[in-house]
Amino acid sequence: MTTTENRTRMIHSALRNGFCSVDTPIEVTLSPGHPHGAISIDGVPHAAAREITVRVRAALSAMNAPLNTLAYVRVMPQADMHRKLAGYSGLDLPIALAIAAAPDVNFLGMLAVGELALDGTVRSVRGTLLHAQHLQRLLICGPAQPSEAAYYQHSLHVASLESACSMMSYLRGGRIRPTEMNPSAVSPVKQLHIGWPGTGRTSQARRDNDDLAASAATKRKDLALVYNLAGIDMPDRGRAAPFRAPHHTVSRAGLLGNAQSPGEATLALHGTLLLDEATEFPLGLLESLFAALRRGHTENGYPVQPARVIATAHPCPCGYHGHNARVCRCSAAQIAAHRKRLQPLHDNGFAVIDNTQPAEQAAK
């Protein structure tokens, strides 16, 4: 006998606000007896709800689980979070599972995050590793990306499969140990290299960064986490230390990140952050960076823990003050103003390495 009673089930997903994972319960009420079926989603913006509905319906059809019920979906993220959230595509998978799973399936202790393609395959979304770290639940997600593989190898309970159909057979309870990113125990090495144009300051910083590879390799889980948030692969799959050199025209979001993605300061985790031509960076942006370095994280919670912060600068605006073969064309006032722009670096503990000594003195 076919039941006509409504069934309500709860499944948990997660949304992301910067470096914070927001536990998002989803309540799905199924009303059978509707041959054409329909999905009504409340709690997310209308455009996002429409896109989720299209993907879920197509995926259910590809799973040979046609929608023959009226599904009322209520998404319940924390209040006042919508303006700060990084997107809603990860809700596709939990909604589809709640609709298609057998009545006796229990979602207790599980967390489902993934975007569905129209053919039913599951795509990973940015922040999957963040959710695995912060929320103590069995993680059901899409196939692991290269940046995620190192994290999954550390015995986390993760059901990472290719399609929503195959995931149905993996539904089971369980809990995972919470893992935390260990904050840097030592403040980063901060150096200001002053030199003439063409003296190889940037290339030297790159060579010095190779010394950090062994240390970075032991912290691949941390690197995997932040690079998964950015949606890019780790440098040499985690075997090399990150080397990030943002241009002085970088935006605040590009350097420090926003709700959607981490910035360059975070991507330099356990590696080198190079501020080439530091005097060209806006003073306000530098102050925000230095504040994040002191805290160890940005206002969005992204870690800011490079092993080295290297700044480079010329001795004067033209670059040739004190050169024994080129004439400096800068006035005394211009040189004084240029050096004043270096004062924030001095105030924040940057050790000065002056490479503008005459060749005979440098040789000594």
pLDDT greater than 90 at residue 210: no
Q: If pLDDT is split at 50, 70 and 90, which confidence band does 331 have?
A: very high
In this structure, of 42-46, 49-53, 83-87, 181-185, the range with the lowest mean pLDDT score is: 181-185
- In this prediction, residues 93-109 reach a mean pLDDT of 80
Mean local confidence (pLDDT), 296-309: 90
Percent of the chain whose predicted confidence (pLDDT) is above 90: 33
Query: What percentage of the chain has pLDDT greater than the value 70?
Result: 79
Classify the C-alpha dihedral 149-155-156-157 as positive or negative. Answer: positive
pLDDT over 50 at 362, yes or no: no
Q: Among 166-175, 205-214, 259-268, 299-308, where is mean pLDDT lowest?
A: 166-175
CATH 3.40.50 occupies which residues in the chain?
189-363
pLDDT at 224: 83
Quote the pLDDT of residue 146. 56
Decide if 270 contacts 242 (C-beta within 8 A).
yes
Q: Which of 158, 156, 24 is nearest to 90 (CA)?
A: 24
Mean pLDDT of 130-146: 70
288, with CB counted inside 10 A (0-12, 13-18, 19+), is middle
342 pLDDT band, cuts 50/70/90, is very high
CA 241 to each of CA 185, 213, 222, 234, 269: distance values in angstroms, whole numbers, following the listed order: 18, 5, 12, 9, 8
What pLDDT, on the 0 to 100 scale, is given for residue 66? 65
What average pLDDT does this structure show over 191-195?
93
What local confidence, expressed as pLDDT, does residue 316 receive? 94
Burial 197-211 (b: 16+ CB within 10 A, else e): eebebeebbeeebee
Ranges in the chain annotated CATH 3.30.230.10: 7-168
What are the CA-CA distances from residue 213 to residues 217, 227, 236 (Å)? 6, 16, 10
Most confident of 127-136, 279-288, 321-330: 279-288
The segment with the largest mean pLDDT, out of 2-6, 81-85, 107-111, 307-311, is 307-311
CA distances in angstroms from 283 to 158, 202, 252, 278, listed in the order given: 44, 21, 12, 10
Bigger pLDDT: 199 vs 264: 264
Specify whether the CB–CB gap between 348 and 288 falls below 8 A: no
Q: Please check whether the domain covering 189-363 is classified as CATH 3.40.50.
A: yes
Res 200: pLDDT: 83
Q: What pLDDT does residue 217 have?
A: 65
Would you state the pLDDT for residue 61? 83
Residue with tokens 């980063």: 188
Residue 22 has pLDDT above 80, yes or no: yes
Alpha carbon 197 to chain centroid, angstroms: 35
pLDDT of res. 127: 82
3-class DSSP assignment, residue 309: strand
pLDDT category at 364 given cuts 50, 70, 90 is very low
Per-residue CA distances from 288 to 8, 109, 209, 292, 337 (Å): 48, 39, 24, 6, 22
Q: Would you state the pLDDT for residue 177?
A: 31
Q: pLDDT at position 259, please?
A: 80
The pLDDT of residue 273 is: 97
Q: Is residue 167 a contact partner of residue 327, using CB atoms and an 8 Å limit?
A: no
Mean local confidence (pLDDT), 250-262:
92
Per-residue model confidence (pLDDT) at position 233: 84
Residues 77-86 pLDDT 10s:
765 555 567 7
- Of the candidates 170, 168, 179, 76, the one whose C-alpha atom is nearest the C-alpha of residue 136 is 179
- Compute the average pLDDT of residues 260-283: 94
pLDDT band at 250 (very low <50, low <70, confident <90, very high): very high
Question: For residues 86 and 22, is the Cβ–Cβ distance under 8 A?
Answer: no
126: closest CA among 87, 84, 71? 87
Report, as an integer, the average pLDDT of 151-179: 49
- Among 3.30.230.10, 3.40.50.1970, 3.40.50.970, 3.40.50.300, name the CATH number for the domain at 7-168: 3.30.230.10
pLDDT at 130 over 70: yes
